[in-house]
Amino acid sequence: MKIMTCPINGPRLISEFAYAGELKEMPDPTQVSDEQWADYVFNKNGPAGIKREWWCHTASGVWFIAERDTTRDVIMRTYLYQAEVALT
């Protein structure tokens, strides 16, 4: 079983975590066309490679971002959304 490192709780079994898809910022709904909105809602980024994803440590409810290299099945790093993404 894989190990994932929660930014708050440290390394834990992957079974303690839940996945919630790719980190994808929502476009401003009032500014986009119907087509652009549909692209945001329905199209996911498929190719293997380094992915930024939402993960949750379910036991503590901590949400964070994990960068995974899906070609090697390696979790590169994990960090809090509010600490890195929200600031940029």
Q: Which residues bind other proteins (CB under 8 A)?
A: 1-3, 14, 18, 20, 29, 32, 34, 37-38, 40-42, 54, 56, 58, 61, 63, 73-74, 76, 81-82, 86
Dihedral angle computed from the Cα positions of residues 78, 23, 48 and 79, in that order, rounded to the nearest 10 degrees = -10
Long-range pairs of 37-40 with CB within 8 A, sequence gap ≥ 24: none
If the CB atoms of residues 51 and 56 are measured against other proteins, the closer one turns out to be: 56
If the CB atoms of residues 1 and 46 are measured against other proteins, the closer one turns out to be: 1
If the CB atoms of residues 20 and 48 are measured against other proteins, the closer one turns out to be: 20
- Least Å distance between CB 37 and other proteins? 5
Beta bridge partners, 66, equal: 53, 78
